[in-house]
Structures are given as C-alpha cells and as structure tokens.
Amino acid sequence: MTATGRIVSGLRNTAARVMSGFLELTHNGFALLGLAVAFVAITLVARPDLRESGEAQLREWLRDRHVAMAGLPVEPDAIERATAANPQDLPREQALLALWLSRKYRVAPEPLSAIVAEAYEIGRTMKLDPMLILAVMAIESNFNPFAQSAVGAQGLMQVMTRVHTDKYQYFGGHMAAFDPVSNLRVGAKVLQECIARAGSVEGGLRFYVGAAHLPEDGGYVAKVLAEHGRLQQVAAGRNVPLQPPVAVPTPAPTAAAAPASAATTPQSAKAPAAEKLALLESAATPATP
C-alpha cells in the first residue's frame, strides 16, 4: 500500500471513530433527556402541588409578558364576562327585535342580542311572553343595566334590590342586580308573580310598578303595552317606526263650553304613578319590585 493509501485509510478510520463516538454521545444524551423528562413527569403526577405551582408561575410569566407588550393590564379571560352575542347567530325573529331595539334605544346590537336571547329563554321557562319582558325593560330602564330610580329600583328591569335580596342570593348576592342577565331573570320572576297575583297582564303590570292600589299608574301600563305591540309587529317583519306618531292635541274647550263638573275634577286623577317605595312598605304588596 502506498503512503497516500495509508493516509486515506487512516483518515477514514478516524472519521468513522469520530462519527461512532458522536452517535453514541448523542444517543446517550437523548436517553438522559428522556429520563429527565420522565422523572419530571412522574414528579409532577406524584406532587400535584408542584404542578399547580409551576402552572401558576407560568401563567404569571405569560401575564407579565402580555402586560409588557400591551402597555396596560390585560385579562385574556375577560371576554367570558361580556354580555354579548352576534345578531346574525340569532333566529330571525330575535335578530329583528335586537336590531330594532338597538336603533331605537341607541344601544349596541351585540349586548341587546344577548338580552333578547335570554328573554326568550327565560320566557319559555316561566311561560311569559318574551316581548312583554323586553317591553318592561324598555320602559323601565331604556336598556341601561346600571339604571337606578329615586326609590332604589335598579338595573334593566328596575327591581327593588333590597326588597328582593332573597332572589339575588341565587346569583351570588345583591350586587348581581347590575349583571344584566341576573337582573333580567329576577325581574321576570317578579313580573310572573305580579301577573299571577293580579290574574291579568294589565293588573300584574300595575303591581309591578307599585300602583295596584292607586287610582292611576301614570300611564305605565299603557306605555308597556304599546311597546309590546310594536315589538310584536317588529318580530313579524313589519316596518315599524322607531318613534310612535305624535298625537295632535285637541283644542281646549272654551270657558263657556266647559262642563260644570270640570272644576270638581279630583286632584287624585292627576297624580303621577306612585313611587314603588310607598307600596313596598305596605304589607299588602310583598311581591312588587
């Protein structure tokens, strides 16, 4: 064998030994890595407290990274608290109502879509007309979930929270009055009780507003029923104007033509709708919102 052949053969042998050693080292390294992974997995299974601690630290690190990138506190799960739905995902009747109410009351269609869908679901459960529930919300709060009256009625359905604290316990406490869905459910339950007590929708609405034992309700029942009628037309696909036509005032009669009994009209006939507080403090109306 020539000198050149011996050199080439030596180089080949050296390369083969180097490759063999590299493969052996790599194999042993992967084996060690596999053993380490298996050990960590067994440890985490045997010690759930360590696993939970590691997950918490990982979440904390990810949150810090998000905060650093966004420049403000972040909460990826916040979407789960949002009361919203896509109107396009609703049945046609519900979508028509959500979009019409959105335009009339200048509320975003996504929250209203969730409210409309919930009104239909709770109406089915409680055997209530969902459009009546929506009409009550429209008149009571204009779909403002944070509304509060002078006498303490709160939320979408303007429920007297301190009177119906027992009902809110099923939703975690009285602060749930400002959760739109919880307020809707409690208000619908109160409305159901009022209608059952009165024996009619009109009578139930008078109980609901706190005017069951008063000569007038301030036009409350008429307003709710009028809105209910409009919602029925919207659900049927009719083109309903956002605002009802303005009635043309009738000319007042002259003094000579005025009936003699006009001067004796009782002041109680001109009284506004009674405040809910006065009725609620009487023992006769425990179910009034």
Domains in the chain, start-ordered, CATH in brackets? Answer: 18-79 (no CATH), 87-243+268-280 (1.10.530.10)
**Helix ranges restricted to H, the chain:** 3-46, 48-70, 92-105, 109-126, 130-141, 165-168, 180-198, 201-209, 220-235, 276-280
Q: Does the pLDDT at position 17 exceed 70?
A: no
* DSSP bridge pairs for 133: none
pLDDT at position 9 over 90: no
269 pLDDT more than 50:
no
Question: What band does 277 get if pLDDT is binned at 50, 70 and 90?
Answer: very low
Mean of pLDDT over the chain:
80
59-68, 205-214, 246-255: least confident range: 246-255
Q: Give the whole-angstrom CA distance, residue 249 versus residue 41.
A: 82
The whole-number pLDDT of residue 73 equals: 80
pLDDT at 141 over 80: yes
**How far, in Å, CA of 126 to CA of 259, rounded?**
49
Distance CA 64, CA 281 (A): 52
CB atoms within 10 A of CB 165: 12
131 close to 159: Cβ distance less than 8 angstroms: no
* pLDDT on residue 287: 43
DSSP-derived letter for residue 280 is: H
Under the banding of pLDDT at 50, 70 and 90, the label for residue 270 is very low
The CA-CA-CA angle for residues 165, 169, 175, to 5°, reads 70
* Residue 256: pLDDT over 60: no
Q: Categorize the per-residue pLDDT at 216 as very low, low, confident or very high, splitting at 50, 70 and 90.
A: very high
Query: Residue 182: is its pLDDT beyond 70?
Result: yes
Least confident stretch, 19-28, 125-134, 238-247: 19-28
The pLDDT confidence band at residue 49, using thresholds 50, 70 and 90, is confident
**What is the model's pLDDT at position 6?**
63
Which band of pLDDT confidence, cut at 50, 70 and 90, is reported for residue 258?
very low
Q: What is the pLDDT of residue 52?
A: 74
Above 80 in pLDDT, residue 98? Answer: yes
Which of 95-99, 108-112, 126-130, 277-281 is the least confident region?
277-281
Above 50 in pLDDT, residue 18?
Answer: yes
Of 208, 223, 147, the C-alpha closest to 183 is: 147
pLDDT computed for residue 279 by the predictor: 44
DSSP per position, 70-139: HSS---GGGGGG-----GGGS-HHHHHHHHHHHHHHT--HHHHHHHHHHHHHHHHHHT--HHHHHHHHHH
Residue 107 pLDDT: 96
Full-model pTM: 0.66
User: For residue 252, is pLDDT > 90?
Assistant: no
Of residues 88 and 244, more confidence is placed in 88
Nearest Cα neighbor of 96 from 235, 238, 242 is 235
More confident residue, 115 or 72: 115
- The per-residue pLDDT for 77 is 80
Residue 233 DSSP SS3: helix
Is the distance from CB of 155 to CB of 187 less than 8 angstroms? yes
Label residue 247 left, alpha or beta by phi (over 0 means left) and psi (-120 to 50 means alpha).
Answer: beta
